[in-house]
Amino acid sequence: MIDSSSTPTTPAMPSIPASLPTVAVASLGGTISMTPSEAAGGVVPTLDATQLARSVPGLAEVAVIRTTSLRQLPSASLGYDDLMAALAWAEQEVEAGASGVVLTQGTDTLEETAFLLDLFWKSPAPLIVTGAMRAPQAAGADGPANLLAAVRTACHPDSAGRGVLVVMNDTVHYARWVSKSDALAVQAFASLDGGVAARLVEGRPTYFHGAAMRAQPLPRPVRAWPKVALVTAVLGDDGELAEMAVTGGYEALVVAAQGAGHVSFGYAQRIGTLTSRVPVVIASRAASGSTASQTYGYVGSEIDLARRGAHLSGWLSPLKTRLLVTALLASGTAAGDLGEALANWSKLTRR
Ligand code: ASP
């Protein structure tokens, strides 16, 4: 059954078994919701959550679906407030009895939004984020299959306690590890370091490992979201752009550094002066792998940058590091305590 109100209702159709779980689905926009617009010359977000749910064959036999339309945006235009609204919606739905919740959105920022939501998600109930690489009218549109797989994952008992999960192409990813690794392919998401959480076969997710290790959820923001710059260190770069960001008012700086956390001699010198003004965090710009901490000793190496007061982000990608720094500062961490807060966050536990 598909119920478009956001309050719990009793299934009206007698053919629905009473034992069906309830899954709440909310839409934020993205390709999954896009239809062609002559005026725009391409597809734009138009479909709401109820229309998306109704387009999925067999969905009503899997769960009682409660739909809510939160936004109709391309995902590059989602902001922190949109995501906090989605988080509040998800919490309310779980409190109202949903076994799990599913958010549909654009895939372009999905690795960021899933991670940001995961930082604050306290419930053992699964919060699933999904989308589509092909719009609904395209041949082989993947949105309906992804939504069905997301709902099946949301109400599967093995999905509990794993935080925010991304379901795309019959594959389940952890928010911490997932990245968009292809701009247009249907197989667009990868979890290069941590590995995928599960794959769906015949509609059932098979998890490859037991309970997930998770960080403690962060307290909700207590202040305005800070501006945290993310700057990529490139060949022939002396860090001028990084300094301009700090001078321009950014409260913290994340450098997507070369290799295991390395920059040029000139960049290293600049970082040495910037760390006395704002927190500086070094992440690796490589597609996978961690920053080192005790391997290289030359000027601009990870050891040198740490000595100059920068923090090393370890396994977290630059995109996710920027969000973690932003969320820590927003939830009340003082700039001077950021290094300790990052280290504490990295202590994973089973929850
Ligand atoms: N290409 C995007 C998508 O997959 C558009 C967006 O992120 O909104 O949905």
Using the predicted structure, report yes or no on whether residue 10 has a pLDDT greater than 50.
no
Distance 29 CA to ligand 1 centre (A): 8
Tokens representing residue 191 in the block: 């979890």
pLDDT on residue 209: 92
Mean pLDDT of the chain, nearest integer: 94
pLDDT on residue 256: 98
pLDDT in tens, 115-158: 999 999 999 999 999 999 999 999 999 999 999 999 999 999 99
Which CA distances in Å does 26 have to 2, 67, 103?
12, 6, 5
Using the predicted structure, report yes or no on whether residue 17 has a pLDDT greater than 60.
no
Which CA distances in Å does 249 have to 14, 252, 324?
60, 9, 19
> What average pLDDT does this structure show over 82-86?
98
Using the predicted structure, report yes or no on whether residue 1 has a pLDDT greater than 90.
no
31 Cβ below 6 A of ligand 1 = yes
Tokens 């109820």 belong to: 50
Higher pLDDT, 35 or 346: 35
> What average pLDDT does this structure show over 237-242?
98
35 is an active site residue: no
Using the predicted structure, report yes or no on whether residue 302 has a pLDDT greater than 70.
yes
Facing residues of 312 across strands? Answer: 282
Task: Report the residue among 27, 31, 186 best suited for mutation to probe ligand 1: largest number of ligand atoms under 8 A from its CB.
Answer: 31
Q: Which of 88-102, 163-177, 201-215, 221-235 has the lowest mean pLDDT?
A: 201-215
SS3 269: helix
pLDDT on residue 13: 40
- Split at pLDDT 50, 70, 90, the class of 214 is confident
Strands (E), 55-203: 64-73, 100-104, 127-130, 164-168, 171-174, 179-180, 189-190, 198-201
Using alpha carbons, select from 107, 103, 106 the residue that is nearest to residue 117: 103
pLDDT on residue 31: 98
130 Cβ below 6 A of ligand 1 = no
- Split at pLDDT 50, 70, 90, the class of 325 is very high
